[in-house]
Chains A and B, each alone.
Chain A
């Protein structure tokens, strides 16, 4: 396998939250939001993370940028542990990893103008940019994300949803990050606006050489923007691989079911696709099934799936495909290479 320039390594990260019992006492149970997640993010690539609600996508985002401390495991940015560096080093490191959140209505302070929102990163990290250059930089950022510099004194409520998401992106770019974690950045936007923001993400990536962890539940958006895809189920990575491979020839039964459930906007295909409807809902992350977590909804499950948890393992020596399944689906599509 050729050596890639890895910017971020997520190494066996687990995050458990205590479950509150009666009268604020701890119940002793934990929600295993993340339970041993590992992957590398390479320079200039987009790693898409898909999965249903409760699979740990957002906890993963918060853990990568340092908003949540992992219960075990580590997040390394160019070899440095995001959660254990201290002081000035920690500040420098955190600049390099920024986040864009889902809800542009909730993630911007309603009392601050566009100018104040974008100046704030420099107040927190004053050594990045001398005081007299900051406003010029803010103006540049505003233009970079396609907003009107004449609107610098407007407040969030005066912007539309798509414009607010652009503000969130400009804020994330203020400190010249290398990695941006995008947590459902287009889910709250209308269809006609979504495409504008997706295109903006792609343009910024090619202009600035950014690496994205792009978390979303919309499978078609993730396919469009990602180079590689990680499929998560109940706090674990079920499958990881290049975009075309994962979408055209899924190995994990869950990936295949997820893809077959996604509607395709083409009436000529209606009824011609093979649909695999999963029964029921994902189980509770408080008490996940033994062995393989997907076995309770899987049509291929056997006794072994209940007793032995399948590890996420490389499928072929020569490729990047990794899958956590005892009985992966056969490779049929022509894009898959041995």
Chain B
């Protein structure tokens, strides 16, 4: 169960904008294991969605540009692969669930027709077989009365039901990796819980690797085994979720965890990280978090810290933190 299905190495993406070059993703590396959930956590503008889009081959070029990196999937390097190979991998190898299901589905075709089209084109199924399979997939994601609902159009479904249809479509070709980009952000709490439950159930059933892109620390804690925290385009800390939450080795992660109120307890005052995320256009050298950091030292302005394992971590092989003071932060001395 610990076989690596996809690995991303040293990925960097930049965008040409009117105001200059935005380095949206820099030197991002991670591995996705079969049957495991990796969460990529970050705030808006941290580069988490651009990373997902690039891996999926959905990056608009221009204005986007991949400046370095490799994505390996089943022995193929995807970023340099010809379009024909990429097309085969997407859907069948790596599939994606988007946040906004209303704009991701085609409004003028019935949802059953959209799922069936995928199966006809990719699996060469007959019209009737593809339709039956589409209905079965809709049943699998627990859409009530799937046979009649398959004839309905996207706008006739609620947000939660549409997200189920997106998931049905994503698993139609039995992918090895499923990338879910904020799959529950637009949904209500009770529906969000249903969708996460469904994703985990399908992951277990099919042994998929799941990459969960999110800004919600609560969701990460409940469903992911590993997580990578992004800030200003870089992964600043990674490791098992349990360790990241209990033995934090980066001041940003620590600040985030302190700043969220919890539904199961009462805190007097919230810790707040001062300031705002930096402008990616004017990002200089040094650590991008230093202006907001409560542990910053002179070195942080002069030299950007590399993502390295802290020696004192319980599982140093799995942990990494991009902080000059990682050991002190981990031991609570900074």
Report whether chain A binds chain B: yes
Please give the residue numbers on chain A whose beta carbons come within 8 Å of chain B beta carbons, in ascending order. 52-53, 160, 162-163, 190-196, 198-199, 202, 217, 219-221, 223-225, 243-244, 247, 257-270, 275, 277-278, 280-282
What range describes how many residues of B lie at the interface?
A: 35 or more
**Closest chain B CB from A174 CB (angstroms):** 24
Cα A192 to Cα B257 with chains together (Å): 9
Cα A280 to Cα B194 with chains together (Å): 9
Asked if B202 lies at the interface with its beta carbon under 8 angstroms from chain A, I say: no
Residues of B contacting A282 in the complex (Cβ-Cβ under 8 angstroms): 188
Asked if B79 lies at the interface with its beta carbon under 8 angstroms from chain A, I say: no
Asked if B19 lies at the interface with its beta carbon under 8 angstroms from chain A, I say: no
User: Which of B189, B241, B260 is close to A217, meaning CB atoms less than 8 Å apart?
Assistant: B189
Chain A, Cβ-Cβ closest to B184: A263
Residues of A contacting B266 in the complex (Cβ-Cβ under 8 angstroms): 223-224, 243-244
Over the window 19-56 of chain B, the binary record of Cβ atoms lying under 8 Å from chain A Cβ atoms (1 yes, 0 no) is 00000000000000000000000011000000000000
Asked if B205 lies at the interface with its beta carbon under 8 angstroms from chain A, I say: no
Contact between B221 and A195, CB atoms less than 8 A apart: no
Residues of B contacting A196 in the complex (Cβ-Cβ under 8 angstroms): 272-274
Contact between B246 and A268, CB atoms less than 8 A apart: yes
**Closest chain A CB from B250 CB (angstroms):** 13
Which candidate, B63-71, B90-98, B212-220, is the interface stretch facing chain A? Answer: B212-220
A-B contacts, CB under 8 A, total: 131
Within B215-273, the residues touching A (CB, 8 Å) are 215-223, 241-242, 245-246, 255-257, 259-264, 266-267, 269-273
Contact between A259 and B246, CB atoms less than 8 A apart: no
Contact between A219 and B189, CB atoms less than 8 A apart: yes
Contact between B272 and A264, CB atoms less than 8 A apart: no
Asked if B121 lies at the interface with its beta carbon under 8 angstroms from chain A, I say: no
Residues of B contacting A194 in the complex (Cβ-Cβ under 8 angstroms): 259-260
Chain A, Cβ-Cβ closest to B271: A195
Contact between A191 and B189, CB atoms less than 8 A apart: no
Cα A281 to Cα B163 with chains together (Å): 12
**Closest chain A CB from B126 CB (angstroms):** 33
Cα A261 to Cα B194 with chains together (Å): 9
**Closest chain A CB from B143 CB (angstroms):** 11
User: Which of B160, B257, B262, B274 is close to A220, meaning CB atoms less than 8 Å apart?
Assistant: B262
Residues of B contacting A270 in the complex (Cβ-Cβ under 8 angstroms): 221-223
With A199-B269, A223-B266, A265-B221: A52-B189 Cβ-Cβ less than 8 Å:
yes
